[in-house]
Structure 1
Amino acid sequence: MYQKIEASTCHVASRKMVSNFAMKNENHLDEMIRLAFDIEHDLHIKAFWSLDLVCEKKLKQFAAYIEDFCIILPKIKDASALRPATKIAFFLTKSNHRKNGISLTQEQEHNLIEALLDRLIQDEKVASKVYAMKALFVLGKKYDWVHNELKMIISQDYSNHSAAYQAATRNLLKKLNK
């Protein structure tokens, strides 16, 4: 697994090959996740690139690692790892909201909320912020105060960002104001 991750690139075909390899074998997936969560390791970024594809296809395989993910999410510094990590957070919150999805504990939900709100107020790239917004929107369906916080943060931040961020914010504000 290590060699596959090391040889991978950010291209979709490469990431898919690594994620498919990991999904076929529990030990490979475990190795990928341990590497992704080791934020001091040079390859943790590449591991996250493929891990978000695993979570998109087979989120239940990630269920045993949610507690560790909630701990590592606020510690991720690199923007290239943060985008797939916030995307995974979005997948988790979306699944948690579904009937037969993954169940997050209240503590895990609160840890995700805190980490994602922090990402919104920090100087992060647009994709990470958009996934954080989407995840917070879903969590706000259970915790009303989250929608209020989210609305306040994205409204204040609106003019300081790119057109892509502003478009995502407008769409979300429409949903929040319904």
Structure 2
Amino acid sequence: MITELQSKLEHLKAYRKDRLLIAEYILENKNDLDELISICLSAEDKNNHKACWVLEFVSYKKLNWLQPYLDFLCKNLKDLTDESAMRPIAKIIQLLVFSHFKKTKNNIFLSEENLQDIIETSFDWLINDTKVATKAYSIRTLYVLGNQYDWIHPELQIILSKDYANHSAAYKAVAREVLKKIK
């Protein structure tokens, strides 16, 4: 039997207003968050990329709702293969890492294992043949993590310098921004 969320995802188009509508549905029906996250990380579900689009919008409003799912989310990052799923998840990971290192009372807590999974996946997305948006989010995520792990900035610097000439203007802009901060 198909659930209401599955039906909504089945009919979802990529239009921003449509993605926002389903995100609002989740925000009003928090119990469906379990299913949404499960679909996001299920590569065999044909709508997993659509679930990721929705989760990104939910994350903008209620990032702290992801706290109980962080182990599951971080452990399964490397299994994502659909470019349309990777981009919103890379953005969510960036939001989580930025929140983790903020000194506010409502920030996210990422365990050492979560952080290691994020580092590994972010480097994988950066060096493999993924689209520029996923790479850009990974670069920014790794930059922030490099402020805590002293080995990341030198590695990131090498990759960005080596790959710089072979990428788009968008990639080059993010790479320049981060390389300037590293130096």
State which of 154, 166, 176 in structure 2 corresponds to 1:160: 166
Map of 2:135 onto structure 1: 129
Q: Within 1, Cα distance between the matches of 2:170 and 2:38?
A: 33
Give 1:174 deviation, angstroms: 0.8
Amino acid at match of 1:4: K
Give 1:26 deviation, angstroms: 2.1
Map of 1:29 onto structure 2: 33
Structure 2: runs of 5 or more not aligned: none
Amino acid at match of 1:34: S
5 Å matches for 1:29-178? 29-99=33-103, 100=105, 101-177=107-183
Q: Within 1, Cα distance between the matches of 2:30 and 2:139?
A: 31
1:10 aligns with 2:45: no
Amino acid at match of 1:11: Y
Question: Cα deviations across residues 70-109 of structure 1 (Å, max 9, x unaligned)?
Answer: 1111111111100001111101100101122101111111
Amino acid at match of 2:59: C
Give 1:168 deviation, angstroms: 1.2
Give 1:57 deviation, angstroms: 1.5
The TM-score normalised by the length of structure 2 is 0.94
Amino acid at match of 2:85: A
Structure 1 stretches of at least 4 aligned residues deviating more than 2 Å after TM superposition: none
Secondary structure of the structure 1 residue equivalent to 2:45: coil
Q: Within 1, Cα distance between the matches of 2:108 and 2:100?
A: 5
Q: Percent identical across equivalent pairs?
A: 40
Question: Cα deviations across residues 138-173 of structure 1 (Å, max 9, x unaligned)?
Answer: 111111111111111111110111111111111111
Structure 1: runs of 5 or more not aligned: none
Secondary structure of the structure 2 residue equivalent to 1:144: coil
Amino acid at match of 1:38: S
The TM-score normalised by the length of structure 1 is 0.96
Q: Within 1, Cα distance between the matches of 2:41 and 2:27?
A: 17
What root-mean-square deviation, in Å, do the aligned CA atoms of Structure 1 and Structure 2 show? 0.9
Q: Within 2, Cα distance between the matches of 1:56 and 1:153?
A: 30
Give 1:129 deviation, angstroms: 0.1
Q: Within 2, Cα distance between the matches of 1:141 and 1:56?
A: 24
